[in-house]
Structure 1
């Protein structure tokens, strides 16, 4: 796994002088330092020996109790022996691959998909087949056609990977109907689904939808994490899976890192014992909702009319698509000259699509930085639009999309055909789902 130009470019986004809208970072500055210090004192006083020692590979019972509370908040009832504590949610993806994949095995994923999953799939030499999305998530008809084609080719997938809630990077949420359909397909075909749900509790509008795991857990491997609702620094996630899969994942984890951090598990347990854990989550929801709205307003003010973007009901990301003649990888290099960064869309595709799209994060920086960052990106985009017009003789309309706030409603609900462009769907598809 050698370095690439993209990795080198993305490394520049972490410079202190860059407004980074690239990362998937929660804002850990919102966690009170006094509370952190108090919790660590509690760990030192009550659990010092345990915190400094190796733990069981599957995780401490005390932290599994906390995980059960979080899952209950999303409509799931789970027993301790159905859980595996992991070193972040990312390790769940790794362990599923380690457990199930041989080189050349097929994994089905959404298009676009979580950029952090692609290197993991590649490391295990998976053949990733991507299924396109619209505003309601993965296109079920296309999924079934894909599975039928793979069956004819004797290439049965090992699992389907999906982020149903507030998709990273697309920002869309899978509809209830499609959740039921996906669970049905998994049951009929006896095909595992890896449900990655790190953002489920970060909902800013609309009604919560049931997880796939809560609909039918027989063929669902459920993954989540404390990173988005507490702190990524604790590096704790978890998996809930059918017993045979969980047992193999446990063995795989033992060979990888023996156990997840005992200190972190004791810290999380002390945090849950200290008071209502969901109060902090509600405070994050309010902060991130405001930041999302600030970014949506800034996009409407500073991006040209040719641009489109999603309106996420939760999560951390907005997916924006520029005119097709703009390459966002090249655009990132130019944006970094203006000390602002985003993730180019190609990072979310296997086959080179996404070249005109970008992922924008609104959780990791403050409201003023969001406004300024989007203003800078908008200037660079309009610069490229104008250059294209000069070179081709075209007269693109590059004015901002909106100045008044009272037309938020029509802009916040993108027509489905336009959203198809945003999600890089085939041009021939006028309406999907």
Structure 2
């Protein structure tokens, strides 16, 4: 008997569900039946490159400098047990129930207290709780942007915002940054040009503190100038501030929300992902009442409400523990890891390479010699040297960023950072040698 016949499972022994699945499996050609039925916006959605790379973090052979992972290992088990026990003991029924779309009232009160700690005054009615900072971004774009509308964003911009920009079919105009953050003078120039073209922007999306991926912070002078522009030009500014508390050096600066002083031109976004845990998926929006009403309707359509269980966990944590102490411990860890990455880059990168020196946050932005394409570099780095990063093109919508990359220093320890950058340096050296062999260098 042919041994292959012995290995074949008789059709009658194949479970019915598995047999039906096999019989109905679509080939690529079959899948074309959906092409004409997809919404037009679905065709233009661009994936977040960092989400595409997330699976690499689960591979033990890969050192990932790609994801924006906060350090959750420092969160004490006894604290978690205490908080969860309190939720189960005192609030189990309500924690398992639906909640108000705008979020639990007590959590919104706690958020107001946190914002006040940073100098930004807000009322409870100014706050809406979201399912993480990502939903806050999505609601901000969804609420204001029609297909074809122009928005301004830093170049590079947060890679996670790119899917929201493309989902709602925005036309993104990038405004460059330097070591002092967004070039506000170029914002004015862009506003003038776009007005002359008949397409004034609906809003400006910006990350003033410890920019992701740029690693720079907008100066106080530029913040004040940007708010003056917003008031004079009636420009909505979406201030994304997930990293504001993650500071290693320098003095805290006022948020754009604070500088707006209630004029209503700033929408402020933040999250507990970086100061507590990304797993709780709790963020918030501070915005004028008229804006929150529209966002509330959009959120109802998306998820009805943010997880009541997650909200209750945050509330019970803040009742029992000082979040500032935990953030201080995190900042000490992150500063040490940032310093390890800066040292490694000095040792391993070619002299033509440059990188930012972040005063806080989780990332720095490195720019390679112009003959190195970081998309190609990533393929080589993962396949041969088992190290990953976010290539720069994922932070632009106009094709720029080909020689740059985002590097994360918060997610792994100092020794792993040093080894990861060493491997990355080997990949860069290999591409440099190839360029030289092809006659590009002498």
Structure 2 unaligned residues grouped into runs of 5+: 1-41
Distance in 1 (CA, whole Å) between partners of 2:281 and 2:124 is: 19
Residue 384 of structure 1: which of 409, 420, 431 is its match? 431
Cα contact 1:88–1:227 (8 A) shared by 2: yes
Cα contact 1:13–1:340 (8 A) shared by 2: no
Distance in 1 (CA, whole Å) between partners of 2:248 and 2:50 is: 32
Structure 1 unaligned residues grouped into runs of 5+: 396-433
Matches within 5 A, 1:23-422: 23-216=67-260, 217=262, 218-337=264-383, 338-392=385-439, 394-395=441-442
Structure 1 residue ranges, 4+ long, deviating more than 4 angstroms after superposition: 1-9
Matches within 5 A, 1:11-30: 13-14=56-57, 15-30=59-74
Distance in 2 (CA, whole Å) between partners of 1:289 and 1:169 is: 17
Corresponding residue SS for 2:406: strand
Counterparts in 2 of 1:6 and 1:178: CA distance versus 1, 3 Å: closer
When the two chains are superposed, the root-mean-square deviation of aligned CA atoms in Å is 1.5
Corresponding residue SS for 1:273: helix
User: Deviation string for 1:318-376 (max 9, x for gaps)?
Assistant: 10010011000010011102111000000011111100100000001111110100000
Corresponding residue SS for 2:352: coil
Distance in 2 (CA, whole Å) between partners of 1:177 and 1:384 is: 41
Corresponding residue SS for 1:108: strand
Corresponding residue SS for 2:321: coil
The Cα shift of 1:70 comes to 1.8
Distance in 1 (CA, whole Å) between partners of 2:178 and 2:172 is: 19
Distance in 2 (CA, whole Å) between partners of 1:8 and 1:173 is: 24
Q: Number of matched residues?
A: 395
Structure of greater Rg: 2
Counterparts in 2 of 1:82 and 1:48: CA distance versus 1, 3 Å: same
Cα contact 2:364–2:407 (8 A) shared by 1: yes
Cα contact 1:227–1:236 (8 A) shared by 2: yes
The Cα shift of 1:73 comes to 2.1
